[in-house]
Amino acid sequence: MSANLTLLVLIGVLTACGVYLILERAVSKMLLGMILFGNAANLLIITVGGPDGEPPIGGGEPEGMADPLAQAMVLTAIVITMGLAAFVLSLAYRSYILTTTDDVQNDPGDAEVAAQRDREDPED
C-alpha cells in the first residue's frame, strides 16, 4: 500500500492552519479552525482507510472491497463537527449580543494567578 503524498501534504497544511486559527482570540476564527481541523482528520481517516475498491455489497472478492469502517467513521465525524460548529456559532452569537465584540476577553482570575506565579518565581 502506498500513501498519496499530495493528500498527506494537504492534511498537514489543513491541520497547521486549523491549529493556528484555534489559537486566535476571535471566536469566528476559532470556529473556522475547528472546521479545518475536523476536515483534516476526516481526510486522514479516509487516506489511511485502505485502497479504493468496490462497495461491500453482494458477493465478490474480499480483497477488492473497500473498508466500510473508515467511511462510517468519517460520516460520524462530519455529524459531530457540524454539531460542534452549530454550538460554537450559537455561543459566538450570544457573546456578540452581550458584549458587541467577537474577541475573547482575559479572565481576571487567570490574570491574577499568572501575576502571582510571576511574583513567586521571578528568575524564570
C-alpha cell of residue 102:
467577537
The pLDDT value given to residue 38: 94
**Global confidence as pTM:** 0.75
Per-residue pLDDT of 60-106, as tens digits, reads: 666 667 778 888 899 999 999 999 999 999 988 988 898 888 787 77
The pLDDT value given to residue 31: 93
The phi, psi pair for 65, rounded to 5°, reads -95, 145
Residue 53 confidence (pLDDT) above 70 = no
Q: How far apart are CA 101 and CA 26, in angstroms?
A: 9
The pLDDT value given to residue 48: 81
The phi, psi pair for 121, rounded to 5°, reads -130, 70
The phi, psi pair for 64, rounded to 5°, reads -95, 5
Q: What is the mean pLDDT of residues 10-35?
A: 94
**Residues 57 and 118 sit within 8 Å (Cβ to Cβ):** no
